[in-house]
């Protein structure tokens, strides 16, 4: 049975995990750097890279020890090779290359977005291709048709901010600190989602994409007006963001139907209101709704190891070359049409 070591270091989580191809997470560890970045209100790339460099090797050793296996027992070593903060990605990828070389084990360079995209299959053995995926994280907001391992068709993306970024900026405006998404979700529970009139950018538009920059500016104006309480702003923001997401998904289902399952992945998939709205949406189209358990939504190494298992299972695949580069940008669907305002999030 294939056993894959996974390494994740593309943003502010250092993580290592061992996963089998029959979906068992044998061991995993994750260290967040929230405290190191909190004073700056966001992730500082150099601080992140230095923290990965300090923590990753002992973490890998601890994961192997916990599972009572050695590198020689692993069938492959999978590491995030992009997209992400390049310093951190290099720490993880170069570590994986060194371990692969030393143990004569295949290296698998994983696209972090592919890790998120396939993560729902780690938790749900019944989830088959194709599925319609909403991938919502701090850096990305996309709708994809996942047709198979390595086969991702991007149907929509954001023309400005990602959804997680909009949550983080709203948190900053409301003085909720970092990371922002969970804090906005918590405060929203105490507010009225109808209290603050906020825009729903691109809702009803004939193009399939997302836009959240105008919503964030409206949140800032609402706060500056002094007319609304923070909880009402948080709740109204979350409601507006969810309305945008469900509208864009309705368009995707209408224009690219035929998938039996609606799936969500990425950090924002941890949000209970988002999950609730998508559950209702899927039911209204007779689609199955699949969301990974919350710890698999935010960045982790089990999803990278699992993506490695999926790649390893592909016919003829024997590993990636040792000179494969770390990539700060790496679109999942390189053939996707560029969007208006291109140059932003691919
Ligand atoms: O996937 P992820 O851990 O890292 C990236 O690949 O970006 O996603 C992190 C993003 C952050 O913007 C964070 O604020 C958001 O996911 N997030 C949430 C929640 N938990 C994390 N957003 C809304 N509600 C949450 N509960
Ligand atoms: Zn991520």
Domains in the chain, CATH or no CATH each? 3-117+296-345 (3.30.420.40), 129-291 (3.30.420.40)
Cβ atoms 68, 56 nearer than 8 A:
no
pTM for the full predicted model: 0.96
Region 14-43 average pLDDT? 94
Q: Which of 167, 174, 189 to mutate to test the pocket of ligand 1 (most atoms within 8 A of CB)?
A: 167
Residue 345 Cα to chain centre, angstroms: 14
Distance 32 CA to ligand 2 centre (A): 13
Ligand in closest contact with the CA of 115:
2
Task: Say how far apart CA 198 and CA 81 lie, in whole Å.
Answer: 38
Task: Read off the DSSP letter of residue 206.
Answer: S
- pLDDT value, residue 177: 85
Atom 14, ligand 1: which residue's CA is nearest? 181
Query: Using one digit for the tens of pLDDT, what is the confidence trace for 245-260?
Result: 999 999 999 998 889 9
| Ligand 1 nearest atom to the CA of residue 162, by list position | 12
Distance 45 CA to ligand 2 centre (A): 15
Question: Predicted confidence band at 132 (pLDDT cuts at 50, 70, 90)?
Answer: very high
**Token representation of residue 300:** 């982790």
Task: Say how far apart CA 67 and CA 18 lie, in whole Å.
Answer: 8
Q: How many CA atoms lie within 13 A of 260 on its CB side?
A: 5
- pLDDT value, residue 163: 98
Region 182-193 average pLDDT? 98
- pLDDT value, residue 38: 87
The interaxial angle of helices 180-188 and 272-284, nearest 10 deg, is 70
Ligand in closest contact with the CA of 161:
1
Question: Predicted confidence band at 338 (pLDDT cuts at 50, 70, 90)?
Answer: confident
Atom 10, ligand 1: which residue's CA is nearest? 138
| Ligand 1 nearest atom to the CA of residue 272, by list position | 26
Question: Predicted confidence band at 53 (pLDDT cuts at 50, 70, 90)?
Answer: very high
Q: What percent of the chain has pLDDT over 90?
A: 93
| Ligand 1 nearest atom to the CA of residue 171, by list position | 14
The enclosing H or E element of 310 equals helix 302-312
Query: Using one digit for the tens of pLDDT, what is the confidence trace for 266-310?
Result: 999 999 999 999 999 999 999 999 999 999 999 999 999 999 999
Looking up tokens 């990828």 gives 93
- pLDDT value, residue 113: 98
| Ligand 1 nearest atom to the CA of residue 179, by list position | 14
Q: Which of 114, 185, 267 to mutate to test the pocket of ligand 1 (most atoms within 8 A of CB)?
A: 267
Residue 28 pairs with which residues in a beta bridge? Answer: 17
Q: Average pLDDT over the chain, rounded to whole?
A: 96
Q: Is the pLDDT of residue 346 over 70?
A: no
Q: Is the pLDDT of residue 261 over 90?
A: yes
Region 186-212 average pLDDT? 97
- pLDDT value, residue 345: 44
Residue 56 Cα to chain centre, angstroms: 20
The enclosing H or E element of 156 equals strand 151-156
- How far CA 145 is from CA of 134, 252, 269, 279, in Å, comes to 9, 9, 17, 18
Distance 119 CA to ligand 1 centre (A): 15
Region 196-213 average pLDDT? 97
Q: Is the pLDDT of residue 197 over 50?
A: yes
Q: Which residues surround ligand 2, an ion (CB under 5 A)?
A: 137, 299
Task: Read off the DSSP letter of residue 269.
Answer: G
Q: What angle do CA 85, 146, 130 make, to 5 degrees?
A: 160
Atom 8, ligand 1: which residue's CA is nearest? 267
| Ligand 1 nearest atom to the CA of residue 270, by list position | 26
Q: Which residues line ligand 1 (CB under 6 A)?
A: 11, 137-139, 164-165, 167-168, 179-182, 185, 266-268, 270-271, 298-299
Task: Read off the DSSP letter of residue 326.
Answer: P
Distance 264 CA to ligand 1 centre (A): 12
CA dihedral for 119, 123, 125, 127, sign (positive or negative): negative
Question: Predicted confidence band at 327 (pLDDT cuts at 50, 70, 90)?
Answer: very high
Distance 109 CA to ligand 1 centre (A): 23
- pLDDT value, residue 344: 45
- pLDDT value, residue 179: 80
Query: Using one digit for the tens of pLDDT, what is the confidence trace for 54-98?
Result: 999 999 999 999 999 999 999 999 999 999 999 999 999 999 999
Q: Which residues of 63-86 are buried (b: 16+ CB within 10 A; e: fewer)?
A: bbeebebeeeebbbbbbbbbbbbb
Q: Is the pLDDT of residue 171 over 90?
A: yes
Cβ atoms 184, 236 nearer than 8 A:
no
The interaxial angle of helices 302-312 and 112-123, nearest 10 deg, is 90
Lowest mean pLDDT among 136-150, 168-182, 219-233: 168-182
Q: How many C-beta atoms surround the C-beta of residue 123 within 10 A?
A: 18
Cβ atoms 122, 302 nearer than 8 A:
yes
Helix (H, G, I), strand (E, B) or coil at 77: strand
Burial class (CB in 10 A: 0-12, 13-18, 19+), 60: buried
Task: Say how far apart CA 106 and CA 96 lie, in whole Å.
Answer: 10
Ligand in closest contact with the CA of 140:
1
């Amino acid at each position: 049975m294939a056993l894959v070591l996974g390494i994740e270091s593309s943003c502010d989580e250092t993580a290592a995990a061992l996963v089998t191809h029959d979906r068992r997470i044998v061991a995993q560890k994750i260290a967040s750097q929230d405290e190191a970045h909190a004073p700056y209100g966001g992730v500082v790339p150099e601080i992140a890279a230095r923290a990965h460099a300090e923590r990753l090797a002992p973490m890998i050793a601890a994961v192997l020890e916990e599972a009572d296996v050695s590198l020689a027992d692993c069938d492959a070593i999978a590491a995030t090779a992009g997209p992400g903060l390049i310093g951190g990605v290099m720490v993880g990828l170069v570590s994986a290359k060194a371990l692969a070389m030393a143990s004569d084990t295949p290296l698998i360079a994983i696209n972090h977005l592919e890790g998120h995209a396939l993560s729902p299959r780690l938790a749900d053995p019944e989830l088959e291709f194709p599925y319609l995926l909403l991938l919502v994280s701090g850096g990305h907001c996309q709708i994809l048709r996942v047709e198979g391992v390595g086969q991702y068709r991007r149907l929509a993306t954001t023309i400005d901010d990602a959804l997680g970024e909009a949550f983080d900026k709203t948190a900053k405006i409301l003085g909720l600190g970092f990371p922002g998404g969970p804090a906005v979700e918590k405060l929203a529970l105490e507010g009225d989602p109808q209290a603050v009139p906020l825009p729903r950018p691109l809702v009803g538009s004939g193009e399939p994409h997302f836009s959240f920059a105008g919503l964030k500016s409206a949140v800032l104006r609402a706060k500056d007006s002094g007319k609304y309480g923070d909880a009402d702003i948080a709740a109204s923001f979350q409601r507006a963001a969810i309305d945008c997401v469900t509208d864009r998904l309705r368009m995707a289902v209408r224009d690219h139907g035929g998938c039996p399952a609606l799936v969500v992945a990425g950090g924002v998939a941890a949000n209970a209101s988002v999950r609730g709205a998508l559950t209702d949406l899927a039911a209204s189209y007779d689609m199955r709704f699949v969301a990974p358990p919350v710890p698999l939504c935010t960045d982790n190494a089990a999803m990278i190891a699992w993506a490695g298992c999926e790649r390893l299972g592909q016919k003829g695949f024997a590993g990636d070359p040792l000179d494969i580069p770390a990539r700060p940008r790496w679109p999942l669907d390189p053939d996707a049409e560029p969007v208006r305002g291109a140059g932003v999030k691919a």
